[in-house]
Amino acid sequence: MIYAILKTLHLLSIILWLGGMAFVLFFLRPALGRLQPPDRVTLMHDVLRRFFGAVSAAIIIVLVSGLWMMSEFASGAAASGIRMPMSWMVMATLGLLMMGVFGHIRFVLYKRLQRAVAGSDWPAGGAALGSIRLWVLANLLLGLVIIVVLLLL
């Protein structure tokens, strides 16, 4: 029962993270092109602040639940001689890479955006958003690779 609950929380957290990235990249960002730079940059700053808070919580849930499920499997598998699936190892490795990319976005690039908004430096804010967009796209692609690996391996 606890395994099912953790797996559900794990999947829901991943859905929030990947879905949020897709929403921001493909729907919100293009729609904001109609706004003037001060409004666009400020709105994205506020949206990302909220989204990054949710993703931070999701990452903790993904990490704790994933490690718990892997350790449960490993302890049971050790007794029976079964090896952990390779897809799980790929998932864990790429998941940790995604967490590292998120850390870069949140603690380096978003700080640049915060400084730009605080100083009303809209060109710098736009540049920070451009960098964030590229790294978020990279993270979304990593997440999609994880899904493909899990479905095919």
Domain map (residue ranges) of the chain: 2-152
Residue 116 pLDDT exceeds 90: yes
CA distance 74 to 80: 10
CA nearest neighbour of 95 among 32, 4, 14: 14
121: its two tokens: 């430096």
Q: What is the pLDDT of residue 2?
A: 92
Does 83 have pLDDT greater than 90?
no
pTM of the model: 0.93
Q: How far apart are CA 36 and CA 54, in angstroms?
A: 27
CA proximity to 25, closest of 142, 125, 134: 134
Across residues 71-83, what is the average pLDDT?
82
Closest among 11, 140, 130 to 65, alpha carbons compared: 11
Q: How confident is the model at residue 89 (pLDDT cuts 50, 70, 90)?
A: very high
* Exposure class string for 109-131: b at 16+ Cβ within 10 A, else e: bbebbeebbeeeebebbbebbeb
Question: What CA–CA distance (Å, rounded) separates 62 from 10?
Answer: 5
How many whole angstroms separate alpha carbon 101 and alpha carbon 108? 10
Q: Which of 44, 51, 23, 37 is nearest to 113 (CA)?
A: 44
For the beta carbon of residue 38, count every other beta carbon within 10 angstroms. 12
